[in-house]
Structure 1
Amino acid sequence: MAGEKEEKQPRQPRLPNLHLRLRAELGQIDEQLRALLDAMDRLQGLLDAVVAISREVELPAVLNRIVTTAMDLVGARYGALGVLNDSGEYLEQFIAAGLSEQERAALAETGLPRGAGVLGHVIRHPEPLRVDDISAHPASAGFPPGHPRLRTLLGVAISVRGKIYGDLYLSERHDGQPFDAHDEEIVVALASAAGIAIENVRLFERVRVAAEQFQRLLLPTLPDLRPFTAAAIYRPAAEPSQLGGDWYDAIPLPDNVVAVVIGDVVGHDLRAAAAMASTRNMLRALLFDRSSPPGAILTQLDHALQTITNNPLTTTTLARIEPEGPGWRLRWSAAGHVPPLLLTPELRAEYLIAEPGLPLGVDPEMPRPDHSHFLPPGATVVFFTDGLVEHPDHSIDESLNELADLATVYGALPLQEFVQALADHHPSDGHDDMAILALRTPHA
């Protein structure tokens, strides 16, 4: 009917707008999840980095690990760590990473950075610094010839026991963006862990040096053994701070006779070192009984150790070298020890393999066989501990053969250089300490 109001139609929902809002909110959630995952990855990366740094036991390795880890965490192309001198006024060490061979060669004549420009600013103002354009910074002093042209910088101080140890510098993210607040936060956290790692390594080094000095004080200085020449060397295990039980000794006896001993007490602790000292001193006293062969002296030593000590098991070789005709006679007895190595004047190497006997501390009633071998003039006998040849990836025969080859290569050297070469190029993995004593008969 005319005049009647038309019925109102229900309003249709604005579906397109709802879809847009939903899509936008989902987009925000996705961004937040990505940010959360990125933060979790960074945190995990930081934790992994802290663990990796804490495993290093040598200071140069720790410093290099800090630099490369920081670069990985923030995706930086270049990284460096400047170590301050004691006064904290300038850099006395500078570890750089990320440089190409060409860049390193170009900077070879530039020398160590002295801490000028923006680097010096971080030294004088140890709070974190982010720079988007180095050349525009008030402290900028330009770059030396051959230096890469850097634009961005993130600098963070590393402190050890409340004192600034050095500064960590990062430059040029791989994505071309400047460093942001998240980069700064994670590098600051890494710097805190780095300070602890550096302090731990310093303490570890002090303990290692003290242990090594203590060990060396227990070892004798070889006496004048004329007409023989002799040289000895001791090397601690690659794992720092471990005392060892390796020892050597040589004692001149009347009538151009010399007694030589090499030994190894089981263990890597203070007890092993003390047992080594007591065993060596007891053996020294027994060696002056010239009437007894080496096997009998080792039996006497074994009885004494069983009666008055609780020392760990010990392997040893006791030898006596006596004049015989145009040369010399080597007489020896072993207590579970590796055989001596004979190097002839013609530089042919052979091991004096014989029944080794039981280690000291097993059964003092068991007989200890004696062995002998003629030594021509100019022959060299090498006594050593098993730390020189033990390697988990190689059989003992392989390592012994490699040591024999080394002896023939370096056998013409003066005796001190000879034992040094054996210690430097040893076939072991360095997990155990090692001792070498070499004795050379006089030439005809």
Structure 2
Amino acid sequence: MFYGLDAGVWVMDSGGRILVVNPRGAEIVRMPPERFIGADAHELLHREADGSQQPRSRCPLLAAMAEGLPTRTQGAWFRRGDGSLLRVGWLLAPYLVGGEQAGAVVTFFDLSAQEEEARRRDAHLAALRKRAERLSLVSEVTTVLTSTLDVREALRRLVRLVAPRLADWAVVDLLGEQDAVLRVAVVHHENGRHVNVTELEGALPDGLSWDSRSPLQRVLRGASSLIAGPEEYAGVPDSAIQRVQGDLFRFTGIHSAVMAPLRGGRGVLGALTLGRADQEQPFDREDLELIDDIARRAGLAVDNAQLYDRQRRVSETMQLHLLTPLPRVEGLEMAARYLPAPQGSQVGGDWYDAFVMPDGATTLVIGDVIGHDLQAAASMSQVRNMLRAFVWDQREVPSLIIDRLDSALVHISDVPMATLVLCRLEGGGGEPWVVRWSNAGHPPPLVIEPDGEARFLWEGHGMLLGTEASPPRVDSAVTLAPDTTFVLYTDGLVEAPGQSLDTGLERLRQRAAGLVGRPLGEFCDRLLVEVAPEESADDIALLVVRVP
């Protein structure tokens, strides 16, 4: 048994001299068995972690011998025969002869394999944690980039995610028309907060050079992501942008940077640069691959946001061109406002219209085409123009004109559904002002008397347009006292997620009553500020008339 153990064993006398050792013990310490016999175990084997001789007073094995008690320890160092050090654990068991302690049996085993396995396990766990952190970062980046269609906001959120988790400096450059390069973000993470270094932002001089070998311009021309350092800018700059980049590295103290292209469906849109100045570790291949993945996602988000912004501007331009100037009518005050949907929301199909008929009556219209895209704006233009033609040609009461419009929309247009209020206002010349209207599924007009009494006109309400139903429509009329204010508006002014329509209408009624003494332009502006819900994602059209 002594010779067949897979652990080292020696027997020593009470003075610490080795009497016998098993073959496995000699093998572990790489010494022939004869070196052990008669040798002082402490002098032969025990060492400090640095290889120096361990003082006898600090030897745990000698201390255990003196106490005469079984003892086990981990983490001692033995000197091998070839001079190398070996981490071991050992178990000492005293033995008695004639009732007195005569020595001890020491069993020892190699811990290096266990520690190496522990190191491999710790390294594997560290690698898994690092990968999990990076996957989490990619997931967060994807979330923030897809949560907004505002380019600047998406990039602002991005740089605050990657700094300081990957770098302490983050820079974003976007390509513009005619190879212009715009530095839209320079952010430094310092003392636990993000600092926008605005003095380094703005248009870069001279635009993109197609001959420069500087890292940033190579990336902007379509090269793959790369790692760069200040040595790239040590020589004479070959372009204005390379000179700016050299100044950036010197100003920030960046010693290692990754530059990655922001690619969209239409090619390279810009570049993301992450730099390390306060973080000592330079970027490596794994960092490069991660940042390239992040930049690829950012590029797609920027591309989508830019395409959306173009569509939005086209839609808003179409709407604003369709909102013609208000007519001048003797005695009447008239004001209108159009408020686009909040940045990042979809474009709607709201509109207002006002024009004077040949008989002197004034036509007032407020409407909203169902939908939130460029098609809605196009549909709105169809409805507006068809309604204008019917009003001008037929000279009928509002309900009959709306019937004709509804029938036409169903059969000769692709407008899905729409709501509107059509009004005919006539009076003046000593006659009272009377408004006659018909409502096709739209929020009711609001009338505010000079004394501040405000009420909604719920009469004349009928089905919205485009349902292919043919319910009878009705007209209503009311006489407006002098200095009465008549308000037409779209649902964006009174509707918001999580809020009932009644709540929005009541807020409109109360604020309009409180503002009725204001000049009409101020009345409109204050009404939008004080009534429009902050969380609304809809556009708003507002048309207000005050009779003399």
- TM-score, normalised by the number of residues in structure 1: 0.77
Task: Give the greater-gyration-radius structure (CA).
Answer: 2
Paired AA for residue 377 in structure 1: P
Q: Secondary structure at the match of 1:391?
A: coil
- In 2, distance between residues paired with 1:69 and 1:240? 20
- Structure 1's 31 and 169: CA in aligned 2 closer, same or farther, altered over 3 A? closer
Amino acid at match of 1:354: E
2:503 corresponds to:
398
Provide the rounded CA distance (Å) in 2 between the counterparts of 1:9 and 1:427: 89
- Which of 535, 539, 543 in structure 2 is aligned with 1:433? 539
Moved more, 269-278 or 51-60: 269-278
Equivalent position to 2:157, from 34, 47, 65: 65
- Residues in 1 aligned to 2:397 and 2:543: alpha-carbon distance in whole angstroms: 21
Deviations 1:382-417 (A, max 9, x none): 211212222111111221233334435655555455
Q: Match for 1:11 among 13, 23, 28?
A: 23
Q: Classify the secondary structure of the residue corresponding to 1:69.
A: helix
1:366 aligned residue: 471
1:210 aligns with 2:314: yes
Equivalent-residue separation in structure 2 for 1:276 and 1:313 (angstroms) = 10
Report the AA paired with residue 156 of structure 1: M
Contact kept? 1:387, 1:428, Cα under 8 Å: no
Relative to its length, the structure with more strand (as a share) is 2
SS for the counterpart of 2:461 is coil
Gaps of 5+ in 2: 1-19, 29-106, 206-211, 220-224, 236-245
Match of 2:131 among 11, 32, 39: 39
User: Aligned residue for 2:170?
Assistant: 79
Alignment-derived partner of residue 228 in structure 1: 332
* Cα separation, partners in 2 of 1:125 and 1:278, compared to 1, 3 Å: closer
Contact 1:341 1:383 in 2 (8 A): yes
Unaligned runs of 5+ in 1: 1-7
What letter matches 1:331 in structure 2?
A: R
Identity of aligned residues (%): 31
| Alignment partner of 1:298 is 2:402 | yes
Q: CA deviation at 1:308?
A: 5.0
Return the alpha-carbon distance in structure 2 between the equivalents of residues 407 and 251 of structure 1. 25
Amino acid at match of 1:399: G
User: 8 Å contact 1:123–1:167 — kept in the other structure?
Assistant: no
Alignment of 1:8-407 (within 5 A): 11-12=23-24, 14=28, 16-74=108-166, 76-83=167-174, 92-96=183-187, 98=189, 112=201, 123=216, 128-129=226-227, 138=234, 153-160=256-263, 163=268, 165-172=270-277, 177-181=280-284, 182-238=286-342, 244-254=348-358, 256-268=360-372, 272-288=376-392, 292-306=396-410, 311-323=415-427, 327-346=432-451, 349-354=454-459, 356-362=461-467, 365-407=470-512
Amino acid at match of 1:335: A
Report the alpha carbon displacement of residue 212 of structure 1 after superposing the two structures with TM. 2.6
Alpha-carbon RMSD: 4.2
SS of match in other structure, 2:462 = coil
Please say if residues 265 and 313 of structure 1, whose CA atoms lie closer than 8 Å, have aligned partners that are also in contact: yes
268 and 84 in structure 1: CA distance in 2 versus 1, 3 angstrom threshold: closer
**Residues 345-366 of structure 1: CA deviation (Å, up to 9, x unaligned):** 4555432333522223447653
Aligned pairs, how many?
422
TM-score, normalised on structure 2? Answer: 0.64
Could you tell me how far apart the structure 2 residues matched to 1:441 and 1:400 are?
23
Given that residues 390 and 428 in structure 1 are in contact (C-alpha distance below 8 angstroms), is that contact kept between their aligned partners in structure 2?
no
The alpha-carbon distance between structure 1 residues 272 and 88, as it changes in their structure 2 partners (threshold 3 A), is closer
Cα distance between partner residues in 2 of 1:164 and 1:363 = 47
Letter in 2 for 1:154: A
2:350–2:369: 8 Å Cα contact kept in structure 1?
Answer: yes
Q: What letter is aligned with 1:11? A: P
Structure 1 residues 191 and 344, CA, compared in 2 at 3 Å: closer, same or farther? Answer: same
Contact 1:84-1:93 within 8 A present in 2 as well: no
